[in-house]
Amino acid sequence: MNRRELKRAGIQTLPPTLLHALESFEADPLVDDTFGTEFKEIYLRQKLREWDKSFFHVSDEQRERMLTYL
């Protein structure tokens, strides 16, 4: 099934990125009930730092590959 068919059938897909997953985690009331607000905030803070660190990182290999297009 393609994305449109999945949506029409009411089937949700997993978040495509860590950031999307964290947004879903933060919005889910079950998280507060299960883990508590303090753990949720600590977890989100740590994972958002992880996202910030890895999202903007460009490896040497990526840099070399992309610079060949210039």
Look at residue 5 and tell me if it is in a domain.
no
Burial 40-62 (b: 16+ CB within 10 A, else e): beeeeeebeeeeeeeeeeeeeee
Look at residue 42 and tell me if it is in a domain.
yes
Query: pTM (2 decimals)?
Result: 0.65
The pLDDT tens digits of the residues spanning 3-62 come to 899 999 999 889 988 899 999 999 999 999 999 999 999 999 999 998 888 877 778 888
Q: What is the DSSP string of the chain?
A: --HHHHHHTTPPPPPSSHHHHHHHHHH-HHHHHHH-HHHHHHHHHHHHHHHHHHHS---HHHHHHHHTT-
Look at residue 20 and tell me if it is in a domain.
yes
Look at residue 8 and tell me if it is in a domain.
no
**How many domains does the structure of the chain reveal?**
1
Look at residue 27 and tell me if it is in a domain.
yes
What is the extent of the structural domain holding 36? 15-67
